[in-house]
Structure 1
Amino acid sequence: MALQFSNACFSAFSRSRVPAVRAVASENASAAVKTAEEEKVKLGGSDLKVTRLGIGAWSWGDTSYWNNFDWDDRKLKAAKTAFDTSIDCGITLFDTAEVYGSPMALGAISSETLLGRFTKERKQRDPNVEVAIATKFAALPWRLGRQSVISALKGSLARLELSCVDLYQLHWPGIWGNQGYIDGLGDAVEQGLVKAVGVSNYSEKRLREAYNQLKKRGIPLASNQVNYSLIYRLPEENGVKAACDELGITLIAYSPLAQGALTGKYTPNNTPSGPRGRIYTPEFMTRLQPLINRIKEIGEGYGKTPTQVVLNWLVAQENVVPIPGARDGIQAEEFAGAVGWRLTNDEVEELRSMASEIKPVIGFPVEKL
């Protein structure tokens, strides 16, 4: 991987916050490269290897949930910096979807279009750079049968400016059934349009059905992407995490920071803006504060931020790849510092125990389909 790493990235991976000496910058860069490579994992039973932590691109171009309903050149540049910084720091998995930032989701510009543009520009500067791109098929009510999957995939490939995508996922279960969609995933693999396939927001029952349907064609179901964080552990409670472990399916965790609530940035007097404010209310943030305080204490012992501790907690669950959303380079650099070290088992269980005392936040209704 022909990448150039900055001192800033090395400090993200380091357990210490002492600035690196300029004379050893190249050694620091090599250490960051090695850490990223060692942290790569296979996605389920597929041959696709990805970094143990990825970057979610939900917010890129979006004006329906993120960015305070506004998108401008400043936010575009910040997203581009997030992309480049992630790669500089060794994080090369990016997750998007056809509905992120698209007109159907009241977005300003498609996240797929932005990700494709960023990747193309990066490869022009460094042809050997490795970027793993995951995107998703929207199971809209009027989309029926296996061919709808292929048609949507070709649209995504056009926006991404790719001939093949690394991971293609069904974004949520179909209202009218899923067999045709699963057949479509299999067709995409056999036609060489994707390297691996997965699902998202699938219950244990639907997950097993999809796994068995693809298995008959000799195609592994690589992943199930679900809402999973320290304060939203439904996958542990509804059998999804256990099924993923049993079947060899990687669990990709979206909203791993509970949409920012676990970063320590927000307090009862400073709650998230926009739609998130209806979930993470002053009352909820008050109940969350003891857990946040303990996360900060643990992080201080490692020279890590609360964000890095919370992401590491998910990595410690094994068979889990968190994909926090990075809106700028500062966030991307911080996320990279969540790998290359590990919480103790006692710390993992202590945080789970404390989080269990907090009433869980509301998830997404698609989980009930």
Structure 2
Amino acid sequence: MALQVNGAGFSLLRWRRGGALRTRAVASESVATTREEVEKVKLGGSDLTVTKLGIGAWSWGDTAYWNDFQWDDRKLKAAKAAFDTSIDGGITFFDTAEVYGMTYLQVMGAVNSETLLGRFIKERQQKEAVEVAVATKFAALPWRLGRGSVLSALKDSLSRLGVSSVELYQLHWPGIWGNKGYIDGLGDAVEQGLVKAVGVSNYSERRLRDAYDQLKKRGIPLASNQVNYSLIYRIPEENGVKATCDELGITLIAYSPIAQGALTGKYTPENPPTGPRGRIYTPEFLKKLQPLVTRIEEVGQNYRKTPTQVVLNWLIAQDNVVPIPGAKNAEQATQFAGALGWRLTEQEIEELRALASEINPVIGFPVEKL
């Protein structure tokens, strides 16, 4: 949001701290970023280019983890506003999955995330020509066997999205068995023109190398590995995944990049998150987190940026990393766009890493251990 005071340009920064809405007006040379100004990067060795920051659609339609177990028309409109605001800000890369808002949960009022994203894209494209890069995922469920199961699931996803192909198709997590068949299925999807690029998610260094080598034999690059990565969850730096991605030219897509809201300053020991996140980001953990959050705010003041924008920029500054924060409404989508177009200094990057290293990481989803 912008305003003019005595002819000078000002940006109005808003974020929540402990449940209270904070606002600060600061001088700014450039209030908004146009679509053309948003930088794009190649995903791994593929020909697919996406914006340096994407939007995660996990919460869209979900009632198992987000939305306080309830989905309604108000939240639907908020998700649509998040999509449109992202497009307006130049962010055109969206990540979803077949298990986000799974069909069997519709008895609880859920709507599949893929269906919502497809609807939002169609409605937007009816108004103007806009290119959207869609990433979705295959669920490696135990009863899915062989490469054919990947193609079958992909075609179901394409049907829900209302498209003939997607830009990126990923294995959501390693299967209990059948992983070679799943990788073959990804290769088949590329060769059949159903996807532009393929990736994996929650893959360890060993699994990542195996998948890379298997696809390479068919002349197909492994474009990405999507893992939990944030300032307070830096396991990919410690377990070899980040180094392997850099070595092999695989883009690391970072989910939960703001630690599901914990790094934004929105939550405090007195105001913890509700629902499942409240069992992860407890008052005890949030108390330990406060010195880091305070320093993040101080760093942000130097750039006229909010804490959310600082922690996202910290990830972007790692290079070969594309964060995909989840946007539930237009306000969050606006915040995310403000993480682009600038860069923290190396000193600030290392200072924040050092402060964060004093905090034991927590994980927000069980598949991250696979």
C-alpha contact (below 8 Å) 2:136/2:169 kept by paired residues: yes
CA distance in 1: counterparts of 2:362 and 2:369, whole angstroms: 15
Instruction: Name 2:264's counterpart in structure 1.
Output: 263
Deviation of the 1:360 alpha carbon: 1.2
Task: Tell me which residue corresponds to 1:136.
Answer: 137
Match of 1:3 in 2: none
Q: Which AA in structure 1 matches 2:103?
A: P
Aligned Cα root-mean-square deviation (Å)? 2.0
**What residue is the counterpart of 2:299 in the other structure?**
298
Secondary structure of the 1:125 match is: coil
Change (3 A) 1:7 1:42: farther
What's the offset of the Cα at 1:11?
A: 5.4
- Partners of 2:276 and 2:60 in 1: how far apart? 17
Matched, 1:53 2:53: yes
Q: CA deviation digits over 1:31-62, x for unaligned, max 9?
A: 523321xx100000000000000000000000
Q: Give the partner amino acid of 2:148.
A: Q
Q: Does 1:110 align with 2:112?
A: yes
1:231 alignment partner, SS class: coil
Displacement of 1:365 = 3.3
Query: Residues 217 and 231 (structure 1 numbering): CA distance in 2 closer, same or farther, change over 3 Å?
Result: same
DSSP-derived class of the 1:197 partner: strand
Structure 2: state its 5+ residue gaps: 4-9, 14-23
For the 8 Å contact 1:12–1:337, the answer to whether it is kept is no
Q: Determine whether 1:91 maps to 2:91.
A: yes
Residue 368 of structure 1 and its aligned partner are, at CA, apart by 3.4
Once residues 7 and 161 of structure 1 are traced to their aligned partners in structure 2, the CA distance between those partners, rounded to angstroms, is: 36
Deviation of 1:109 (Å): 0.4
Q: Which residue pairs with 2:366 in the alignment? A: 365
Q: CA deviation at 1:340?
A: 0.2
- C-alpha distance in 2, partners of 1:200/1:12? 37
Q: Do the aligned partners of 2:51 and 2:91 also contact (CA within 8 Å) in 1? A: yes
**Are 1:296 and 1:306, in contact at CA under 8 Å, matched by a contact in 2?**
yes
Task: Answer yes or no: is the 8 Å Cα contact 1:96–1:112 preserved in 2.
Answer: yes
In 1, Cα distance between equivalents of 2:215 and 2:104 = 30
8 A contact 1:225–1:252 mirrored in 2? yes
Correspondence for 2:34 among 12, 32, 35? 32
**What is the correspondence of 1:218-257 to structure 2 with a 5 Å cutoff?**
218-257=219-258
- The structural deviation recorded for 1:130 is 1.1
Worse-matched range after superposition: 106-115 or 84-93:
106-115
Aligned counterpart, 1:24: none
Secondary structure in 2 matching 1:289: helix
- Is 1:44–1:250's contact at 8 Å kept on the other side of the alignment? yes
Mark the runs of 5 or more structure 1 residues left unpaired by the alignment: 1-5, 22-26
- 2:224 and 2:11 mapped to 1: Cα distance? 31
- The 5 A counterparts of 1:170-249 are 170-249=171-250
SS in 1 for 2:354: helix
Closer/same/farther in 2, CA of residues 7 and 41 from structure 1, 3 Å limit = farther
1:333 equivalent to 2:320? Answer: no
Distance in 2 between residues matched to 1:160 and 1:240, nearest whole Å: 31
8 Å Cα contact 2:277-2:364 kept in structure 1: no
**Contact 2:53–2:91 (8 Å) recurs in 1:** yes
Query: 1:17 deviation in Å?
Result: 5.1
Q: Percent identity?
A: 77
Residue 7 of structure 1 deviates from its aligned partner by 6.2
Select 1:122's aligned residue among 118, 121, 124: 124
**Partner residue, 1:72:** 72
> Are the counterparts in 2 of residues 99 and 105 from structure 1 also a CA contact under 8 Å?
no
Tell whether the 8 Å contact from 2:314 to 2:349 is kept in structure 1 after alignment. yes
- Structure-2 residue corresponding to 1:308: 309
Higher helix proportion (structure 1 or 2): 1
Aligned to 1:343: 344
Q: Do the aligned partners of 2:35 and 2:91 also contact (CA within 8 Å) in 1?
A: no
SS at match of 1:169: strand
Aligned residues: 352
Amino acid at match of 2:81: T
TM-score normalised by length of structure 2: 0.91
Contact kept, 8 Å, 1:203 with 1:367, in 2: the verdict is no
For residue 255 of structure 1, report the CA deviation from its aligned partner. 0.2
State the TM-score, normalized to the length of structure 1.
0.92
Is the partner of 1:266 in helix, strand or coil? coil
2:319 aligned partner, one-letter code: E
Q: Describe the superposition over 1:85-132 as per-residue Cα deviations: whole angstroms up to 9, x where unpaired.
A: 000000000000000011346670000000000000000001x20100
